[in-house]
Structure 1
Amino acid sequence: MPQISRYSDEQVEELLTELAGVLEKHHAPTDLSLMVLGNMVTNLINTSVATAQRQTLARSFAQALQASVSEDQAH
């Protein structure tokens, strides 16, 4: 069941477009992009989430990521 976000689609799309633009500007290959984004997520969790909640949030994030990845072979 999809969750309702407190953020508008426009806010999400604007940030996504800007982040993708930075990665494209630097011609970052997929593996480097994933490394950088993973490091960003880790940093956000470690600096913005209470210690007692970090593992739970990381687990939820990982589950949401797995659920959002398509199984089709198209790129």
Structure 2
Amino acid sequence: MPVVSKYSNERVEQLINEVVEVLQRDQAPLDLALMVLGNATTELINGSVKPEQRAAVADKFAKALTASVK
């Protein structure tokens, strides 16, 4: 069953483009860019998710990331 998002594809793409643009403008190498995105993800989870739910959210995120890599 396909996943239905409450966010429009246009909004998602806009944010992705803005983030990637910042990393490209800074000429961040791949390892630095991934480190920044990973740390940002950690900050978002720690700042927005109850402590007892953080591991489950991180696990779902990791599985979604793994599934999206072709």
Q: Above 0.5 in TM-score?
A: yes
Residue 52 of structure 1 and its aligned partner are, at CA, apart by 1.2
TM-aligned CA deviation for residue 55 of structure 1: 0.4
**SS class of match (1:2):** coil
What is the CA-CA distance between 1:45 and the residue it aligns to?
0.3
How many corresponding residue pairs?
A: 70
Instruction: Please give the root-mean-square deviation of Cα atoms over the aligned residues, in Å.
Output: 0.7
TM-score (norm 1): 0.90
**Residue deviations 1:2-25 (CA, integer Å, cap 9, x gap):** 310000011101100100000000
Question: Which structure carries more helix by proportion?
Answer: 2
Q: Name the CA distance, whole Å, in 2 between partners of 1:11 and 1:26.
A: 23
**Alpha-carbon distance in structure 2 between the residues aligned to 1:11 and 1:34:** 22
Gaps of 5+ in 1: 71-75
Report % sequence identity.
Answer: 54
Q: Runs (4+) of structure 1 moved beyond 6 Å?
A: none
Which string of whole-angstrom CA distances, capped at 9 and with x for unpartnered residues, describes residues 14-37 of structure 1? 100100000000000100000000
- Is 1:58 aligned to residue 42 of structure 2? no
| Aligned equivalent of 2:38 | 38
Tell me which residue corresponds to 2:28: 28
Q: Structure 2 length normalisation: TM-score? A: 0.96
